[in-house]
Structure 1
């Protein structure tokens, strides 16, 4: 009896055969395939716009089913799951991610939301900086006017060299530049120069805001100083109203765009100089997110100004009509930014 027990203890235990990999793959799939199929049905219904056919339970379980699928996919990649099943899971995971975490609207929906409130809200969010930029522009106009009034030779430094627009030009020469006269090409070239200059100033005012806003301030003053010098020049010849009407057609939109771009640059500069309780990087990033919609809108305003400069300025050749167009555009922007959607 003892010998039999000894022989039994000495006999090695027989190891159980491991189940084939295919069987493990089948069990893995069978345990989870029901959830996969349900997730696929939900995703397909959403893709086809059949949300009304889904129950509340399906919508609530969508993120849970997606996370379970992602976990299954991770396991499947580490095991011997067949290639066809792995491809199916990867494709389903991509579709489910887009439905669960992807953007909720297309470009048209986003653009309509931007135009119908997003842009104006972004502008109102930096209204303090807009006030600063406006004060700088007014100060620049006054400084430019007083500088050339004290020393006319400074006109070329502020407004550039122009054989037709300078302190030595007669009233008739200046009037011809406003109402076409004999040289429409020169008039168009000067207007195009102003548009390109203002667009460049607007972009630089915003882009250089990271330097604590100082370049934005200087650019606003410099551009406004040029306008002040030109206002002084035409005022001296009795053409101040005519010049204001000429530039108002597209200038009310262009100058408003420069004002917003300068305010965006100042806002970023203030965030860097005075980050408050946040770090400089965090404060700058937040300011960038707030001002990005404003600058996107500035680009649209410059496009509108370009169309006004290219068509309205060419077609309208009378001071009252020019003032009407310029006043309408200014009123439109003021109402849009500070009245439209303000309560909401």
Structure 2
């Protein structure tokens, strides 16, 4: 080989090395983002990476064009071609269908979103417990508070001074399921409005959300005081548990989602306010999608199971089983996938 040919090869290698060194950081970052998207680890992507993806793709495509024109080494060109194809699919390729989204949502997406807001769940839980205790204490000191705390549709026969027999009858069952489907729709609408309101008002730094949780649970505390006064604590708890273990859990998550958004606005941490709020909003929206499903289940349980199952221990069994199911699903299911993503 002549010295001239050797010099030409050496110059080409030098150009290739300089070309790669000047752009390789962007290529590697693009490859890392694409790999995470391909393996479904979207939650590991920062907002900065998501926003940078289109620009990094265009940079890689431009680099590929330059590499081809300047006859850089074949290995670099082949690698860039593969990277650009994969990145194009993620930027411009078809989005996943509903079935695939639902499988990912129920298969771990929802449970991971719930676990991600666990501090807000603890805050909401503490507020709900405080609300129930406050409702009990207020009515215990002055029965007139009962009329302020308990909605009118609950004060048919369930009022202070009602006998044990009357209150026990209010916890009774229906002889058939006829007409209960309409009742289920009403219950879903009522509970959904409370949950959505608790979530939607989270933007005001979570303060209205806390007040809603306090008010709703104060109602429960007042009614618990009423039934406990006639020695019906267990019966009332069983009656409530059939749907309450699902319904109250859903309201807890809705409140926690609202608090999560408000807390992210008030304390964005090291991130800018808008990216922090946007990330919290997406996470909270995922939780709220699960809340809607839970409220559907709660309405069915309240309209059918609670009205058709009359034995106290049978009701407790249903309520306890539902509570264990939700706890296992939200806080145990999908943890292995989360560890793999990490």
Q: C-alpha separation between the residues in 1 aligned to 2:94 and 2:296?
A: 28
2:180/2:304 contact within 8 Å kept: no
Match of 2:149 among 154, 158, 178: 158
Match of 2:164 among 135, 160, 171: 171
Q: C-alpha separation between the residues in 2 aligned to 1:296 and 1:208?
A: 17
Within 5 Å, which residues of 2 pair with 1:81-230? 101-103=92-94, 105-161=96-152, 162-180=155-173, 196-230=189-223
Displacement of 1:290: 1.5
Displacement of 1:282: 2.1
Secondary structure at the residue paired with 1:312?
Answer: helix
Within 5 Å, which residues of 2 pair with 1:28-107? 101-103=92-94, 105-107=96-98
Q: C-alpha separation between the residues in 2 aligned to 1:305 and 1:181?
A: 18
What CA deviation, in whole Å up to 9, does each residue of 1:65-115 have, x standing for no partner? xx79xx9xxxxxxxxxxxxxxxxxxxxxxxxx7787224532111101110
Match status 1:311 vs 2:327: no
Match status 1:234 vs 2:219: no
Secondary structure at the residue paired with 2:281?
Answer: helix
Q: Give the structure 2 partner of residue 272 of structure 1.
A: 265
- Greater relative contact order (Cα < 8 A, sep 6+): 2
Match of 2:321 among 321, 328, 331: 328
Q: Structure 1 pair 260/139, CA: closer, same or farther in 2 (3 Å)? A: same
Unaligned 5+ segments in structure 2 are: 1-56, 66-87, 338-342
Q: C-alpha separation between the residues in 2 aligned to 1:337 and 1:288?
A: 19
Match of 1:297 among 262, 266, 290: 290
Q: C-alpha separation between the residues in 2 aligned to 1:99 and 1:228?
A: 51
Secondary structure at the residue paired with 2:144?
Answer: helix
Match status 1:251 vs 2:244: yes
Q: C-alpha separation between the residues in 1 aligned to 2:181 and 2:91?
A: 53
Displacement of 1:134: 0.5
Q: Structure 1 pair 319/188, CA: closer, same or farther in 2 (3 Å)? A: farther
Q: C-alpha separation between the residues in 2 aligned to 1:129 and 1:208?
A: 15
1:124/1:337 contact within 8 Å kept: yes
Q: C-alpha separation between the residues in 2 aligned to 1:247 and 1:300?
A: 19
Displacement of 1:170: 1.2
Secondary structure at the residue paired with 1:169?
Answer: coil
Q: Structure 1 pair 137/281, CA: closer, same or farther in 2 (3 Å)? A: same
RMSD value, Cα: 3.0
1:195/1:254 contact within 8 Å kept: no
Q: C-alpha separation between the residues in 2 aligned to 1:187 and 1:172?
A: 24
Q: C-alpha separation between the residues in 1 aligned to 2:255 and 2:318?
A: 24
Q: Please, which moves more after superposition, 252-261 or 274-283?
A: 274-283
Unaligned 5+ segments in structure 1 are: 1-62, 72-96
Q: Structure 1 pair 245/192, CA: closer, same or farther in 2 (3 Å)? A: farther
Displacement of 1:185: 10
1:178/1:187 contact within 8 Å kept: no
Q: How many residues align?
A: 255
